[in-house]
Amino acid sequence: MVSKNPESGVRLGKDRIEVDGVEVRRTEKIYWMLNKPRGLLTTTADEQGRETVYRGLPAGLPWMAPVGRLDKASEGLLFFTSDSEWAARITSPESHLDKIYHVQIAALADESLLTALMQGVRPAGGEVLRAKRAARIRTGEKNSWIEIVLDEGKNRQIRRMLGAFDVNVLRLVRVAIGPVELGPLEKGRARELTADEKQQLDRALNDSAIRQLRPRYSKYE
What does the pLDDT read at residue 39?
Answer: 96
Q: Quick one: pLDDT at residue 204?
A: 95
Give the residue extent of every domain in the chain: 31-95+181-198, 99-177
In the Cβ-directed half-sphere of 50, how many Cα atoms lie within 13 Å? 11
**Structure confidence at residue 12 (pLDDT):** 53
Given this model, what pLDDT does residue 19 score? 62
- Among 15, 46, 71, 207, the active-site one is 71
Residue 190 contacts by C-beta under 8 Å, 6 or more apart in sequence?
A: 32, 33, 34, 35, 56, 57, 58, 80
Active site residue 15: no
pLDDT at 78 (0 to 100): 98
Q: Does domain 31-95+181-198 have CATH number 3.20.20.70?
A: no
SS3 for 110? coil
Burial group, residue 103, by CB count within 10 angstroms (0-12, 13-18, 19+)? buried
Is there a contact between 79 and 90 (Cβ–Cβ < 8 Å)? yes
Mean pLDDT per 10-residue section of the chain, whose length is 221 residues: 61 59 68 97 91 95 94 97 96 91 97 97 86 96 96 89 96 97 97 98 88 54 42
Q: Does domain 99-177 have CATH number 3.30.2350.10?
A: yes
What is the model's pLDDT at position 52?
96
Burial 54-80 (b: 16+ CB within 10 A, else e): bebeeeeeeebebbebbeeebbbbbbb
Show Cβ contacts of residue 100 under 8 Å, excluding neighbours closer than 6 positions: 147, 148, 149, 174, 175, 176, 177
Question: If DSSP codes are grouped into helix, strand and coil, which group holds residue 12?
Answer: coil
pLDDT attached to residue 206: 92
